[in-house]
Structure 1
Amino acid sequence: MKLVVAMFQGTFHTVTGTFSVPNISGQRVNSSASAVVGIDGGTCADVMLLAGVLFTVTTTGPRYKAWYGWGLNSISPGHVIKLTVGTWGETSGLAAVQNLNNNQSALRYFNSQRALCGQNAVWIVEDHAKDFGLPLANFGTVTFLEAKADAKNGQTYLPQGATITEIVELGGQPMTSVSVNKDMVNIKYLY
């Protein structure tokens, strides 16, 4: 997969991260990227709980859209967004996107017949346009601050020491550089 992930093994019920929305650019219309937090991220029989912001290059300029929410379209470069996903059982949870600049928020509850495993906490920047043959948008840098994951046993985990997977081209060339320091995940676009 073309994504940047920090993961921990454990039983998680809440993952949060706060970041400043980047001013994106791209060589082609519809190139995109997104910043996401989640639980499981594809490691549990393709079941996952995610919340994020999609960045897309359009003919009229950048467009920003929150996932899993209604009425939260007033997102601009420089806005500070807090993402939270949480569960209260293996088949029910919520995803929240909060714009801390204009106090807008979107919250969506989920119920599923497929159970989450709660084994991974993720802070991701991913390439949404790859399936359509479009390049990753130049997102500059996305820095998740106050990144943490709470386990059901009451323990809190920070990204420090997590597994990192870079976004790479088909030829193996890295497209991102990731650094982690305590509760911060810094993801930089390389070219």
Structure 2
Amino acid sequence: MSAYRDEDPRIQGIKTKIRVVPNFPKPGIMFQDITTLLLDPKAFKDTIDLFVERYKGKNISVVAGIEARGFIFGPPIALAIGAKFVPLRKPRKLPGEVISEEYILEYGRDCLEMHVGAVEPGERALVVDDLIATGGTLCAAMNLLERVGAEVVECACLIELPGLQGRGRLNGKPLYVLVEYQ
């Protein structure tokens, strides 16, 4: 499911605020830079509003944001829908006891960690990140949450790169995106 397919008039304004930076962080990568969207209060608010409109009333108790850009979108969504925010961080960034999940990205390996006890069995979770490419990061996030007994309701990303087929790696878990880039 995607908002751009619903032709919400806010989508085009959001899309025009995302800058594409060629060959970053390495040759051949077309980096989707959301910092330009964050400079525009209307586009940033429209982005948050679209997510909040989708998730309000869905009985979500946890918004899990993936480091680092999931930390930008996750907290305002969590506040607006009355859920707690749980950061999913890179290794050795959380001070307490953690569980971790390793995964492969389009240009290397990485790991996500979450505090033990941050999410309880039976809680309904939304995973938030800025972008889905190959799907590895979202899969790792879902695995962390499901290992502690949470139900992942959906994943939400601002941007999808459909050519990298990340949606297909989510094992049928719903994915909601606002814009696509080829």
Normalized against structure 2, the TM-score is what? 0.32
Q: Is the helix fraction higher in 1 or 2?
A: 2
Q: Is the strand fraction higher in 1 or 2?
A: 1
Normalized against structure 1, the TM-score is what? 0.31
Which structure exhibits the higher relative contact order, with contacts defined as CA atoms closer than 8 Å and separated by 6 or more residues? 1
